[in-house]
């Protein structure tokens, strides 16, 4: 894990992400209250969705999140231990039908509905139920989801339990140029998954990077700078 050297990179091109104001009711999920800067222009503007304990920037092109942000700490995670998993997946009605994934897209696809903000992080019954929104999901290979990825989620919770204060986590998919799709709505299947962990008390950030295959194994975390280089997203922009 390497210290953050440069949190703010100069982007001189137009941002294709939703504006920061769209996350006004869930700014607490972002470090310094500032959402990531996403430079990729899209033909359909991404939509910001606030949930009780996480925030989603959703793409109507991929029918998946661009990223999902969470604020974790020991109190929230202690409360989460007593929550019973609901497993009641649902299509998010806040999204236009043309932009969202549906339950039938995943049915018989061979892919899991892979949480980006894990159900195991949710401290209340309401947040647990919300985590099963398909706006929080990507098509994930089953063994990947239940083993390698689950171990990354567990390690992240373990770190946040021991941290001095809030830890900010941003999770998302990375697609290749011609991603495979599932279902009638052509939900994109990611090539990679990432989970960024930022501990402001220690001024440190690192990211887990995992191929979306059943054979993938958890490797050494990459630096924040390397994650920005690979994705083009500035996840931790500083206030001006």
C-beta of residue 205 within 8 angstroms of C-beta of residue 174: no
Q: What angle do CA 114, 29, 26 make, to 5 degrees?
A: 105
Active-site option among 6, 58, 63, 115 = 115
C-beta of residue 112 within 8 angstroms of C-beta of residue 145: yes
| Euclidean distance between CA atoms 137 and 149, whole angstroms | 13
**Which residues does residue 193 pair with via DSSP β-bridges, in sequence order?**
173, 210
| Euclidean distance between CA atoms 73 and 50, whole angstroms | 19
Phi, psi (rounded to 5 degrees) for 49 = -125, 125
Closest CA to 137 of 78, 185, 68: 68
C-beta of residue 195 within 8 angstroms of C-beta of residue 205: no
Phi, psi (rounded to 5 degrees) for 46 = -60, 155
Query: Among the residues of 68-148, which ranges form H helices?
Result: 74-80, 103-106, 125-130, 142-143
Q: Is 192 annotated as catalytic?
A: no
Name the residues annotated as catalytic. 115
């Amino acid at each position: 894990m390497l210290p953050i050297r440069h949190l703010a990179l100069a982007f001189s091109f137009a941002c294709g992400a939703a504006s920061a104001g769209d996350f006004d009711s869930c700014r607490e999920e972002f470090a310094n209250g500032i959402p990531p800067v996403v430079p990729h222009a899209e033909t359909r503007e991404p939509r910001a969705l606030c949930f009780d304990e996480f925030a989603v920037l959703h793409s109507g092109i991929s029918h998946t999140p661009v990223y999902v942000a969470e604020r974790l700490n020991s109190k929230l995670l202690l409360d989460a231990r007593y929550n019973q998993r609901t497993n009641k997946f649902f299509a998010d009605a806040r999204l236009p039908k043309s932009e969202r994934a549906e339950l039938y897209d995943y049915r018989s696809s061979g892919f899991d509905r892979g949480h980006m903000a894990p159900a195991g992080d949710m401290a209340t019954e309401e947040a647990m139920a919300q985590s099963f929104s398909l706006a929080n999901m990507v098509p994930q290979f089953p063994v990947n989801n239940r083993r390698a990825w689950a171990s990354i989620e567990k390690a992240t919770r373990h770190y946040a339990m021991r941290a001095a204060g809030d830890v900010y986590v941003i999770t998302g998919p990375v697609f290749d140029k011609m991603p495979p799709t599932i279902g009638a709505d052509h939900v994109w299947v990611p090539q990679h998954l990432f989970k960024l962990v930022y501990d402001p008390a220690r001024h440190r950030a690192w990211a887990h990077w995992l191929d979306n295959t059943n054979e993938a194994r958890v490797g050494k975390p990459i630096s924040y700078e390397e994650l920005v280089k690979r994705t083009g997203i500035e996840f931790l922009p500083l206030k001006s």
